[in-house]
Structure 1
Amino acid sequence: MKKALLSARKIVKQFGSGEPVLNQISTEIYAGDFTIIMGPSGAGKSTLLYALSGMDDITAGSVSYQGREISHLKERQMATLRTKEFGFVFQQTHLVSNLTLFENVAVAGYLNKARSGKEVEKRADALLSQMHVESAKNRLPAQTSGGEAQRAAIARAMINHPGLLFADEPTGALNKHNSEEVLDLFTELNRDGQSILMVTHDLRAAVRGTRILYLEDGMILDELSMPPYIGDAAKEREQKVSEWLASLAW
């Protein structure tokens, strides 16, 4: 039986007196899964990601991580949790412009304060190598390609061994070649046991998941489970997901 890493119970997110952006959502994110959130524009995909990660407050309901409710933690407690337990990758890399790729990754590791500087730097080097950007590690973000910068951002997200990696449209600003490289890295990380929760509108990204949640009008309408991604079965997998999405009028 799968272990629920993160649990949401009847969460609501509402701005002012308008319709709820998230409407009574209850779900679990399981350890070891590569969970995808899909849905039409305006469905609340990114809002759900931010609510589950504690980056945004919820109006009602609760969110728990490893059995501990986190939806009402004080900001300092939430910041500590995000540093130690969560990793984040966004469409834009948000790398610090005057730091090299290596420094961007290492600084995130220093914030944890659980390891020595040498240990952090050793892991930063190892991650940049794993992400295939070791040759660019001493360059500033502006001196690298979009794909290199995003792979460095993934290394930064992984520096503190996160229990859960959150990704919001991580290939949205990349061309096809760079997108595939980034998706290959996410697939490799998940194959090694990393739990991932990713928002995407891209079918080629969605097929990498082991579970897809379909969100519409702030509610989860359906979900699809699949075995881990294997490149040789990509066409059949894409067809399966396409047919499922068509049945939901995506």
Structure 2
Amino acid sequence: MTAPLDSAAVAQYLADHPQFFVEHAGLLGEVKLSSPLTGRAVSLQERQMEVMRDKYKALELRMADLLRRAEENMAIANRFHGWTQGLLRAATPAAMPDAVVQGLIEHFSVPQASLRLWNLAPDYADAPFARGVSDDVRLFANSLRAPYCGPNKDFEAVRWLDDGVEVGSNVRSTVLLTLRAGGNAFGLLVLGSPDPDRFNATMATDFLVHIGETASAALAPLRA
């Protein structure tokens, strides 16, 4: 007695014999399947077209998403280019900290930005960008191995941001970037926003890493 075939065996047979429907072309019009789109019975050919249309729509959505991401990355790259051009136009090393901060505000539409540096050459020891840096901030900056991007957890460095009402009071989300030279921290760059979702932990940090590295290279001449 011949054992009945199950669906898996039939599927495997058809996969192993791709010429089956060439040799039995008449079956293509006779096999009826239930369409999940209309609920009616359709031929195998019609069902195949529905599947292909679904795949095409999925590919269209994927392509649209990739194009959107590419446009966003291009826009960020253009902003980054404009910012670095501003750094190159800084007339003196002493003007570089302001060029870093103001350039980020201008090109990236960052609501608030500030930085502090330490271990500087004597000529810059009393500059505004060298004041008010506690030992705790230095230790924190040195321990920060990747950009921090997320909610303001009452970081001391966020108090460097002046919102015109109370220092740091309206900062809901923030970015903290350690500035390094030779592996040693010599500064901290702070970005802030009153929008809690402007800087969040799900954001990609590739460009933030590039900003930190570029700012570090631009500000390194101020070091002792």
More strand by share: 1
Could you say which structure has the larger radius of gyration? 2
Q: Which has the higher helix share?
A: 2
Same fold by TM (over 0.5)?
A: no
